[in-house]
Amino acid sequence: MAWKSFLTRPFANLIAKNIDQWSAAPLAAQEAVFSELMRGVAQTRFGRDHQLTATTSYEAFREQVPLRDYEELKPYIEYIKQGEQNVLWPGRPAYFAKTSGTTSGVKYIPLTKDSLPNHFGTARNALFNYYARTGKGKWMDGKMIFLSGSPELEEVGGIKTGRLSGIVNHQVPAWLRTNQLPSYSTNIIEDWESKLERIVAETLPADMRLISGIPPWVQMYYERLLEKTGKKYIKDIFPNYEVFVYGGVNFEPYRGALEQLVGKRLDSVETYPASEGFIAFQDSQTEPGLLLNVASGIFFEFVPAEEIFHENPTRISLADVELGVNYAIIINNNAGLWGYNIGDTVAFVSKTPYRLKVTGRIKHFISAFGEHVIGKEVETAMQEVTKETEVRITEFTVAPQVNPPEGGLPYHEWLVEFEQPPADLAEFTRKLNAAMVDQNIYYQDLIAGGILRPLVVRPLPKDAFRNYMKTQGKLGGQNKVPRLSNDRTIADFWMVDG
């Protein structure tokens, strides 16, 4: 009996109505969050160190609290590990979300009882909002899979610690847990390939209706299901499969390959979760961008991306953002993060309501010659050309080739694993280069000025990226291949020669 979708429909409608209310008055919602945060931080060591009180204004806060990254937050995390109370937020964190930093080693991001609803509650709201807007809720009456990290936790300084996706797994209510796969014993398996085999075995006989995960790892899951069954499409295995939920990467470069495997176009719900907070989610199936989560314990600030490494960068609240500008996003929240640069860049596509697109990572760009190519630009170019040519890709990354082994001018090297390769690689490369010229004016100037030559596409063999991630100990879960980099650390892994 389809009782879960029937009983939760009124609750889904209530959530959608609440989203309409706060998204229609986003600045008031942010002011309320800021006031709540000041009342909390005033009771802490951090608040005393920065002269913050319950009545501190945003203008004063901006003067008294500098922008910081994890290294600058780390001394406060050490106080927490040593057992101190009221360090960054009243009391002690309920959890540490453990993440890998490129420069800081392991990071321990605090999660508090006040911030946990931001993580699980927003994920729930995104799905219930989808139900309310579309009327499609049958996914609640079947099985759901969340391809995530292990829910197994350790203790650090007396605080339960694990990957964010694993921590959130513990927040799933009992009434929904009966729908959830994989089992706990499967989910705690660390080796991705072993875990995948168990996931396939558990889900094959199930009525799967919702699948959630990062696209490249979901693709591995699909392919293994098809290998195991001999079926042509996923829709033949899971006829009631209704919605795909993803986050962390742009889906569009993967859409063609995934939909080819499924055998039909699916509704999808994009989310923007991070260990530091659940930032935004897709609230519409027709409008572009993700709705900024302005009423969930996070006060947002924004810095023009090109200024983020300046000594005194421009620092604004939501009220002053402009459409189309590439911003570094700054978090202040009820987990105890203050002026915290999470390393992502975003651009707003709407202010009524505030919707944004993730444009990349601050550290993931190519500017070997001053071109400052960002993730959004390479993804948009690839998306346009693959649509036009019906080429499908599995994965790609871009790196500069400053000293070509074959001689000649430098170039941007696109290392691409094709699912459906182009019939004419030279023509595909020409179109991709033209698309990049449209995306980045500095790139065009450098080519016209004889500094760079047009980009080069290097096809990689099947499973090249999976093998690379395996060697890095990052196969599966929430791990992502960097879309582009300013050096050749990743590109040289394959030792591609001219």
What are the DSSP calls for 92-145, one per residue? --SEEEEEEETTTEEEEEEE-TTTHIIIIIHHHHHHHHHHHHH---GGGGSEEE
Q: What is the pLDDT of residue 97?
A: 93
**Residue 149, pLDDT above cutoff 80:** no
**Residue 460, pLDDT above cutoff 70:** yes
**Residue 366, pLDDT above cutoff 50:** yes
Give the residue-averaged pLDDT of 476-481.
69
Give the residue-averaged pLDDT of 337-360.
94
Task: State how far the Cα of 298 lies from the Cα of 274, in Å rounded to an integer.
Answer: 12
Q: What is the pLDDT of residues 4-19, one digit of tens each?
A: 888 899 999 999 999 9
What band does 93 get if pLDDT is binned at 50, 70 and 90? very high
Please state, rounded to an integer, the average pLDDT across all residues of the chain. Answer: 90
Give the residue-averaged pLDDT of 235-256.
87
136-145, 378-387, 403-412, 443-452 — which is least confidently predicted? 443-452
Q: What is the pLDDT of residue 495?
A: 66
Q: What is the pLDDT of residue 398?
A: 92
Q: What is the pLDDT of residue 496?
A: 45
What band does 472 get if pLDDT is binned at 50, 70 and 90? confident
Cβ-based neighbours of 105, under 8 Å, separated by 6 or more: none
What band does 341 get if pLDDT is binned at 50, 70 and 90? very high
**Residue 429, pLDDT above cutoff 70:** yes
Q: What is the pLDDT of residue 477?
A: 60
Q: What is the pLDDT of residues 122-134, one digit of tens each?
A: 999 999 999 999 9
Q: What is the pLDDT of residue 103?
A: 46
Closest CA to 293 of 252, 325, 247: 247
Q: What is the pLDDT of residue 446?
A: 84
Q: How long is the chain?
A: 498
191-195, 286-290, 414-418 — which is least confidently predicted? 191-195
**Residue 102, pLDDT above cutoff 60:** no
Q: Give the whole-number percent of the chain exceeding pLDDT 90.
A: 61
Report helix, strand or coil for 78. Answer: helix
**Residue 467, pLDDT above cutoff 70:** yes
* C-beta of residue 41 within 8 angstroms of C-beta of residue 49: no
Give the residue-averaged pLDDT of 388-397.
89
Domains of the chain: 1-296 (3.40.50.12780), 365-494 (3.30.300)
Q: What is the pLDDT of residue 105?
A: 67
What band does 101 get if pLDDT is binned at 50, 70 and 90? low
Give the residue-averaged pLDDT of 342-357.
95
Q: What is the pTM of this model?
A: 0.82
Q: What angle do CA 63, 69, 72 make, to 5 degrees?
A: 80
Task: State how far the Cα of 284 lies from the Cα of 24, in Å rounded to an integer.
Answer: 15
Torsions phi, psi of 141, nearest 5? Answer: -95, 0
Of 316 and 383, more confident: 316
Q: What is the pLDDT of residue 360?
A: 82
Of 390 and 37, more confident: 37
* Residues facing residue 299 across a β-bridge: 332
Task: State how far the Cα of 386 lies from the Cα of 401, in Å rounded to an integer.
Answer: 23
What band does 403 get if pLDDT is binned at 50, 70 and 90? confident
**Residue 498, pLDDT above cutoff 50:** no
Of 13 and 380, more confident: 13
Q: Give the whole-number percent of the chain exceeding pLDDT 70.
A: 97
Give the residue-averaged pLDDT of 436-440.
89
Q: What is the pLDDT of residues 168-185, one digit of tens each?
A: 877 777 777 788 898 889
Query: How far from the centroid of its chain's Cα atoms is residue 7's Cα?
Result: 31
Tokens representing 96 are 């540490």
Q: What is the pLDDT of residue 252?
A: 77
Q: What is the pLDDT of residue 474?
A: 72
Give the residue-averaged pLDDT of 306-320.
92
Of 469 and 414, more confident: 414
72-76, 380-384, 455-459, 468-472 — which is least confidently predicted? 468-472
**Residue 497, pLDDT above cutoff 60:** no
Angle between helices 441-448 and 425-439 (to 10 degrees): 120
